[in-house]
Structures are given as structure tokens and as C-alpha cells.
Amino acid sequence: MIYPKPYLEFLMYFHGNRDYFECHEVLEEYWKCVDPKNRSSHWVGLIQLAVGLYHYRRGNLSGAARTFKKAVQNIELNQDELSRLGIHPGKLQEKLVEITHGLSTNQPYSSINIPLTDVSLQEKVQSLCEDNGYSWCSPSDLKNNELIHRHSLRDRSEVILERKNALQRKKRG
């Protein structure tokens, strides 16, 4: 099976350096190109998974719980699509239910792995991890503030400038 490059990158970040923010970024960009109006797309479910883990790791338990609830519903709706992506949707859903229970009982964040069913996919992603200097399926580095607080530490000057320009265009038009 040939998988989209952004999906492979998503899996690399997810299982490699646990950069859930980057998981979200690469897959959201892809989803917006292939199916932007479909908010119940399987791509959205995978994005929700990464965002939920990002919130959980940062200690935003209410944000994580809300996001995981959406992800569980999405996975249930998209089992066939996830299976075609080499994911075991039932096992993934079980993991999310466990995480949600852990959130409700104040369990600390712990890294998870997406249950892959396609051995060649796993080998390809492991190779990508190795090529990029990441260890396959190592736990998150909880002392890496840049990784944990990525959204608040990134350079947003381009986004801010674009929003300002869009507002000015809107006022003129």
C-alpha cells in the first residue's frame, strides 16, 4: 500500500520524538488539501488524537478530555478508513477509552503508540524515525519545554501579519 507522505510524517512524529503539535500541523495541512469540508474525516480523528495527547501532556486535562471524546467518536465512524491506513481501529479506540478513564482519575500522561497492522508501514516509519534521529516508540521527554509548550513558543509573526492584512482587506472591501 502507498500511504500519503504527510501521514507517514504524522506517524514519524507521533512515534519518534512525540511532537504532537507537529503531528497536528502536517496532517491538518494535508486534510485541508484533500477533504477540508469534512470535519468528520478520519484525518480529523488522527489530528484530534495528537491534539488530545498534546493537551494531556501539558496538564490541560479538560481540553484533553473534550478532544479525546471527539476522537473516540471519529474513530468509531471511520473504522474502515483507519483500517486501510494500516491502523487497528478497535485497539486504538480501546486505548483512547483507557486514556479518558485515566484523565478522570488524574493519572499522569503516558505516551501511547498507535496500533499498526501493516508491518511494511511500521518498517517505513521506523526508517523515517531513524533517518531523522528519533528513537522509535520512546516515551516523551517530559523535561523538553520546547516540545511540551510548542504552540506558545513558536514564531507567529507571519500568522499575525496575515491576519492583520486580511482584516485590512476586509475593511476596504
Name the residue among 157, 105, 154, 125 with its Cα closest to residue 97. Answer: 105
Alpha helices (H) along the chain = 5-15, 20-34, 42-58, 61-77, 79-84, 89-104, 119-131, 145-148, 150-153, 157-172
Question: What nine digits make up the cell of 41?
Answer: 474525516
> 96 φ, ψ to 5°?
-70, -35
| pLDDT tens sequence across 80-98 | 999 999 999 999 999 999 9
Q: Side chain identity at 109, as an amino acid letter?
A: Y
Please report, for the chain, the start and end positions of each structural domain, with discontinuous segments joined by +: 5-142
For residue 156, the model assigns a pLDDT of 47
| pLDDT tens sequence across 144-159 | 888 888 766 555 456 5
For residue 149, the model assigns a pLDDT of 83
Average of per-residue pLDDT across 19-23: 96
For 5-142, CATH number out of 1.10.3450, 1.10.150, 1.10.3210, 1.10.3470 equals: 1.10.3450
Give the number of C-alpha atoms closer than 13 A to the C-alpha of residue 10, restricted to the C-beta side. Answer: 25
For residue 158, the model assigns a pLDDT of 60
pLDDT at 50 over 80: yes
Average of per-residue pLDDT across 98-124: 95
User: In angstroms, rounded to a whole number, what is the distance separating the alpha carbons of residues 89 and 100?
Assistant: 16
